[in-house]
Amino acid sequence: MNAPAAPGAIEERIAEKKQRVHILTGPVCNNNCTFCMEEDRDGRVVTNSATTDEVVQKILAENPACEEVCFTSGEPTVNPRLPQWVKWAKDARVRRISMMTNGRTLSYEKYARILISAGMNRFYVSIHGHTAKLHESLTRTPTSYEQTVAGLEMITKYKKYGLELHTSTVVTRQNLPAIADIYRFLRSKGVDQVVFNIMQANGRANTHFDVLFPPYKEIAATAKAFLDEQMKTEAQPQAFFVDIPLCTTTALPDFNRGYVESYVHYEPLESGSKLLGADEVMARAGDGSIVGVTRSDLDDAQRTKRPECASCKYDSSCEGVWKNYLKRYGWDEFVPV
């Protein structure tokens, strides 16, 4: 039996995390990232186009006490109904209303003010480099860097009204050597938390795996060197390395590592039935129009553990290793703690 987690330990934090409610905003994104998880564009059109006014109202009604509603997938700001949906979330007294965005449209002050006035109070902005060359080599979208940075600056301008600004940087072979520069650049722009998301080995990240995906041990070593240096001038860097097996990051402070928050989103019954068993779909579907799908529903079939994992202190907290990752790198770097 593993010893209980120490107060404030990563295992405790993971066990206590609250589930976020995701609302899928549409099939369109105005970036074209090399690592996008949503490679199945036809499937995304079917699933995300099912989010209507009625669906949004139903989701809000079924989650009256949720901690956070997050609008996501594809790019929320290209959906003209977003401000109205945000207002409905505010009217439903959701405490934290957020979105995952590339931030480009936030560079237009009038639009940013509309979202803020409607009730949006946390922004997760995706940015993958501290220079246009690095960022746009991954988004494959000219001018996307300039607009995203302007979007960060716009939200920072209005942080005095209680807004939170986080960023998400997907770690690749291309930007891993620059994580210190990326962190310092983003903090200089007013970002509260800089999250380095380790890629999920599916979608385009799997298609282009050999070009994009560095080994976990290399990511962990680079992260440690960065944090050691940063802590010379900042007592507790607001940098977080998420979705990387805990056994590979034992050299990092618990504060700076973890997993992406758990979440539930809603899909049409037909789409959801492809992920869940028939009995479970019927149990979750309620009136039969939509079904709740959790992060574990999506990920469990694509991750795995080996028998040795049962002896690790992190076994109950660990989500396992991507099978597509193991096909390339094997098990050697994963040592039970």
Structure confidence at residue 11 as a pLDDT band (50, 70, 90):
confident
> What residue ranges do the domains of the chain occupy?
10-329
CB 82 within 8 A of CB 25: yes
pLDDT at 181: 98
Reported as a single tens digit per residue, the pLDDT across 272-323 is 555 555 455 445 555 556 777 776 666 667 899 999 999 999 998 888 999 9
Question: What pLDDT, on a 0 to 100 scale, did the predictor assign at position 39?
Answer: 60
Q: What percentage of the chain exceeds 90 in pLDDT?
A: 65
Answer yes or no: are the C-beta atoms of 27 and 268 closer than 8 Å: no
Mean pLDDT of the chain: 87
Distances (CA, A) of 107 to 3, 113, 186: 49, 10, 16
Nearest to 71 by CA among 63, 62, 83, 61: 83
* pLDDT tier for residue 230 given thresholds of 50, 70 and 90: very high
Fold of 10-329: TIM Barrel (3.20.20)
Could you tell me the two tokens for 69? 């509603």
Q: Are 165 and 159 in contact (CB under 8 A)?
A: yes
